[in-house]
Amino acid sequence: MIPNSFDYVAAKSLDEALSLLGKHKDDAKVLAGGHSLIPAMKLRLAQPQILIDISRIKELAYIREDDGQIRIGATTTHYQIESSDLLRRACPLLPETATFLGDVQVRNKGTIGGSLAHADPGADWPAAVIALNAEITAAGPKGERTIKVEQFFTGMLSTALQPGEILREIRFSVPKGRVGQCYRKFRHPASGFAVVGVAVSLLLDGSGKCQSAGVGVTGVSPKPYRASAVENALKGSALDGKSMSGAAAHASDGVDANTDLFASGEYRRHLAVVYTRRALEMASSRAK
Amino acid sequence: MAEKYFGKRQKRTEDPRLIQGLAHYVDDIKLPDTLHAVFLRSIYAHARIKSIDTSEAKKAPRVIAVYTGKDVSAKIGAVPCAAALPELKVPDHRVLATDKTYFVGHPVAVVVAEDRYAARDAADLIQVDYDELPVVMDEEKAAQGGPVVHEQFKTNIAYKLTAGEGDVEAALKSADKVIQQRILHRRLAPIAMEPRGVLARYYPGEQELTLWTSTQIPHLARTQIALMLGMAENKLRLIAPEVGGGFGSKLNVYGEEALLGWIAMQLNRPVKWIETRRENIQATIHGRGQTGYIEIGYKNDGTLTGLRYNVYADMGAYFQLLTPAIPTLTGLMLSGCYKIPAIQINITGVFTNKMATDAYRGAGRPEATYVVERALDLVAAEMGKDPVEVRRKNMPAPHEFPFKTATGLFYDSGNYEGALKKALDMANYTKLRDDQSKARKEGRLVGIGVSTYVEICAIGPSAATPAGGWESATVRIEPTGKVTILTGASPHGQGQETSFAQVAGDELGVNINDVTVIHGDTAIVQYGIGTFGSRGTAVGGTAVYYALQKLKEKANKLAAHMLGVENGPVDFKDGKFSKDGKSVTIQEVALTAYLGKNLPADMEPGLSAIHFFEPKNFTFPFGTHIAVVEIDRETGEVHFQRYVAVDDCGKVINPLLVDGQVQGGIVQSLGQALYEEIVYDEQGQLVSGTLMDYAVPRASHVPWLELDRTETPTDVNPMGVKGVGEAGTIGATPAIVAAVVDALSPFGIRHLDMPIKPETVWRIIGKKGAA
Amino acid sequence: MNKINVSVNGVSHQSEVEPRMLLVHYLREALNLTGTHVGCETSLCGACTVLVDGQAVKSCTLFAVQADGSQITTIEGMATDGKLHPVQEGFWEHHGLQCGYCTPGMIMAAAQILARNPDPSDEEIRHGLEGNLCRCTGYQHIVQAVQCAAKKAKKQ
């Protein structure tokens, strides 16, 4: 219940946060909403010497649309995403995903950047950002770099963020045209994390066929993944029941699935298929 | 006419403080100079302690003291077990581990510091050198041999006990068919929302120790802790302040309670310990924990001939207050609400390297009901009959009460068919079954589970309990007319501050806002037993009722004297005594009693009465629960369609409170049936050690509960109340499991062990031919 | 030690706190507002829920330093001028509590639900209470309490 002692600095700017991080290196942890970090600290699974609080940096909390791109600042809370009129209109997948995430209190405080950087295998956002082909901007001592979402998640609780870097922004192109999106989740009865979570973003062509599909899956394996086989199978398909269930059948192809007290790897792989199909059906009905 | 309170949906008098955050649970009580204790607990299930080095911890900032088993074992008596069974092997249970640790969470040392942060930091500085020992985890295997938990016993079998009446062997032989089934009752964590906590303060001048502790049994705990500490019982004041739930987990005496008292005396400063949730799951008692084998025999017409239940009961490593007694309650209730001529239970109590099991809401009776109800369903399935029909066939009729069971009980009263019929009507059972057949034709997996239960409440006659089954009450009217009730019961959410005030309000003709119910402080309240076993109202409330009668008798006499009708009767109505047009209020009578100037010659001043109520029997509430579920055949998830329950707890003082008890109980059952399970791995590590893994039901897991009641009074007590605290946890589990099993019956499923997880269901559907 | 300024239930406080002090401990120990409870250490039970700048948060998952400059409302600040908040009234009328330990957190979470959705359905209430555990009531009376509070709030 009680974390170790540490020093605390509320950074006023991203530059200050980066320079503090550069100075304290592994002794430091970046604190945004704290909803991944603080529980770990309370169980003393994480014992940082210094916390650099970036939640007060105004330049990091925003949701905006520029040149056909949506940009979401790292310290934007789950609730800000859930309640964003811009996103509800331009990319309802994100608000929908948020409603499945944790609980009201967690959504009020937890941030999208914090959740992505923590990379819990049962986190919800990874599925959505994969489905949206998002890019993640990392700010570091040498400036900013952009990481494609596929490269961002490198394993259980690990990401492509380098020491000294802070996740700065999530951005993606606004889906335009006949778009249908959906997030579906099998919720762990105790923790509320995703046993399986599937995010789908479909773009239909003029004839109602699938022009492109983004399908992200979380909860199933140590790191979230893009269900490429599903996406490929959908491309050009009529999005009828048969094509969608045929495509969804590939949702866990070649995936090394997690086993825990609640669900075996085999079951998770199966759930990924079912939830992918259900998310596809809902997304396509929304697009039509 | 004054308002009548009995039977009214009266909102609770205890709520204003609770809804405004003004109540005082243990951790809310602040004393100057309080020290804080943090425990270091074993990380191994079974290990020899080679050495403990506390030197660094003792040097840490703000640390006052560190104690280990060596420091305290000779000074504090063993943690008590009140259950007396023949040839019971009782391990010596010290407040801190001495040479070995026996389960994960076993306390090894305690750090005392100026604040809890410092104490927590210092706990990390204690070095314990362990030698791991082989662990004993499975109660059934442990009974057969292998490594032993307690070397001195040379066996893991703590006791064996056979109970029941009738010749079971012959009864099963006479049956046309005997069904056997292995059945598991997993270990559960009670998870009272307030973890345990203790605050101790010593007054050296008075040589008095005050302990505030989150307990259901303040007086019994006082007696036991005083014995552990070797002090006079009346120099220990034990206070159960606001208690944030118990469910049996605080019907106990824990080592931490005595140890905190001892530390306060050693250091002569107040000291507080508040359990963390992780500690709570590790080291507060668990419930259930049985592996059993059912044999049930029946005739071709469905008549039951006999039931045998051979059970390995997981004790854990040590006994807590009632650990070995819990399975014996299972034995008592094995007749359920049926006529079973011969019943036998063979209990093997087994030590394992786990936390002790003990009373968890229902305490042995949910296990019994589950056994009987599963058995009846197995009979119905084998016979191809509706489970309701098999139940009806074997129920005693209302005229057969009091009904004697082959477990040695006399059921006081009952109308099982009445509650069953009402529930079936509410659920529209015939239509449910029709809809189910239609659904099945469409390939949908719909299941209906029916459980008809009886439970043993109002525990209980002293002859049948380890330490007194009575309850006490004092009622007094103060000089200003305010009414004070001191109850030996120790409510912690059940609402008896309100329901007892309702009883007093009616009996005395006063407003319930003029009644204060005091409980939980051994320095104020006469000796009492406590709140558990659905006894608070049926036993504690009855004591209040009788004390009120005694008080009224005296008031009546005094009123007659005041009205000048010494020898004649006076009327008492709505708080007024009257005769021939003259009247005095009960408040005036009270004042007169205290002024002492105008009393009958033989009357003592003052107006109070005390009563210790000894019930002549248990009570036996009953009811019918019906669950309707649909299974997602792709994922195995269970979704509720309906939940209907009709409970009969006799007369009801406050229906609002009864509904609350039933609803809460059903949801704990739902957790047991579908989600909850304490899991230790093969090394004895507690895998479900936080609420991240141990799934307590949330609001979204719970269907709308459609509740009603029948009312069959008991003559065990004058108000006709039976108790209801555990009904939900007893009646609901079998109904929910039966519904899931019924939904899966097209796959040939007749039984599933709890918790029934989606993956289990999915595997059944997948393996046995998914459509 | 770090300096913080917070307003709790309308009263300003300046305090020196250790950075690791959890907000719930600050409220309970430093300000003696013991109505906010602790029921777990994994941010799952919600007993510690308070409003920070109008948003329900779990005060066990927030360091007091993070709340610097905030307006905090705890259960003790819900009743105004001796009049109960509609949510408190709802819990009382519908027996939405038994042992009362989860209740302050439940009430704060329920207030958040109604602040965002004045007319929630049964399902929306249950979803909104996902972050709060109750072991006593089985939730049904809590759902009714919140519905009742919604009606009362509308009348006001």
CA B473 to centroid of chain Cα atoms: 21
Q: What are phi and psi of B525, to 5 degrees?
A: -95, 140
Residues in contact with C29: Cβ distance below 8 Å, sequence separation at least 6, in sequence order: none
- By Cβ distance, the residue of C47, C93, C127 closest to B193 is C47
State percent of chain A over pLDDT 70: 100
Provide the residue count of chain C.
156
Alpha helices in chain A (DSSP H): 14-24, 37-42, 78-82, 85-90, 93-99, 104-109, 112-118, 125-131, 149-152, 228-234, 241-248, 265-287
Task: Please state, in angstroms and rounded to a whole number, the distance separating the CA atoms of residues C1 and B104.
Answer: 36
How many other CB atoms are there within 10 angstroms of residue B406's CB atom? Answer: 20
Residue of A nearest to B701 (CA): A189
Report which residue type is found at B357: T
Residue of A nearest to C57 (CA): A105
Burial of B266 (0-12, 13-18, 19+ CB in 10 A): middle
For testing contact with chain B, the best of C101, C108, C121, C126 (most B CBs within 10 A): C101
Residue (of B324, B326, B325, B343) closest to B334 by Cα position: B343
Task: Please state, in angstroms and rounded to a whole number, the distance separating the CA atoms of residues A270 and A42.
Answer: 35
The answer to whether residue C44 neighbours chain A at the CB level (below 8 Å) is yes
Chain A residues with beta carbon closer than 8 angstroms to that of C61? 34-35, 38-39, 109
Burial of B234 (0-12, 13-18, 19+ CB in 10 A): exposed
Chain A residues with beta carbon closer than 8 angstroms to that of C45? none
- By Cβ distance, the residue of B276, B763, B766 closest to A1 is B276
Residues in contact with B431: Cβ distance below 8 Å, sequence separation at least 6, in sequence order: none
Task: Judge contact between C111 and C78, C-beta under 8 A.
Answer: yes
Provide the residue count of chain A.
288
DSSP for B10-34 reads: PPPTTHHHHHTT---BGGG---TT-
Q: Over 90: is that where the pLDDT of C155 sits?
A: no
Is residue B734 classed as helix, strand or coil in its secondary structure? helix
Two structure tokens written together for B662:
């039933």
Tally the C-alpha atoms within 13 A of residue B581's C-alpha that lie toward its C-beta. 0
Q: What Cα–Cα distance (Å) separates residue B190 from each residue in B263, B732, C136?
A: 28, 17, 11
pLDDT of residue A288: 75
- By Cβ distance, the residue of C40, C88, C125 closest to B20 is C88
Residues in contact with B59: Cβ distance below 8 Å, sequence separation at least 6, in sequence order: none
Residue B691 and residue A44: Cβ atoms within 8 Å? Answer: no
The answer to whether residue C128 neighbours chain A at the CB level (below 8 Å) is yes
The answer to whether residue C58 neighbours chain A at the CB level (below 8 Å) is yes
pLDDT of residue B771: 41
* ipTM reported for the complex surpasses 0.95: yes
Chain A residues with beta carbon closer than 8 angstroms to that of C18? 5
Q: CA torsion sign, B4 to B5 to B9 to B14?
A: positive
Q: How far is B442 from chain A (nearest CA, A)?
A: 19
Q: Tens digits of per-residue pLDDT, A184-215?
A: 999 999 999 999 999 999 999 999 999 999 99
Residue C131 and residue A104: Cβ atoms within 8 Å? Answer: yes
- Chain A and chain C share a number of CB contacts under 8 A equal to 85
pLDDT less than 50: residues of chain B: 1, 769-771
> In this structure, are strands B47-53 and A225-226 parallel, antiparallel, or unpaired?
unpaired
Q: Tens digits of per-residue pLDDT, C133-154?
A: 999 999 999 999 999 999 999 8
Residue C99 and residue B278: Cβ atoms within 8 Å? Answer: no
In chain B, which among 360-419 make CB contacts under 8 A with chain A? none
H/E stretch holding B625 reads: strand B622-631
Report which residue type is found at B478: E
Task: Judge contact between B526 and B474, C-beta under 8 A.
Answer: yes
Mean pLDDT of chain C: 97
Two structure tokens written together for B112:
């005392």
The answer to whether residue C17 neighbours chain A at the CB level (below 8 Å) is no
Instruction: Give me the mean pLDDT over the A236-261 stretch.
Output: 96
Residue B25 and residue C37: Cβ atoms within 8 Å? Answer: yes
Question: Which chains are within 8 Å of C by 3+ CB pairs?
Answer: A, B
Chain C residues with beta carbon closer than 8 angstroms to that of B117? 18, 20-21
The answer to whether residue C122 neighbours chain A at the CB level (below 8 Å) is no
Q: How far is B64 from chain A (nearest CA, A)?
A: 19
Question: Which chains are within 8 Å of A by 3+ CB pairs?
Answer: B, C
For testing contact with chain B, the best of A259, A268, A270, A281 (most B CBs within 10 A): A270
Q: How far is A210 from chain B (nearest CA, A)?
A: 25
Chain C residues with beta carbon closer than 8 angstroms to that of A34? 61-63, 66
The answer to whether residue A262 neighbours chain B at the CB level (below 8 Å) is yes
Instruction: Give me the mean pLDDT over the C11-33 stretch.
Output: 98
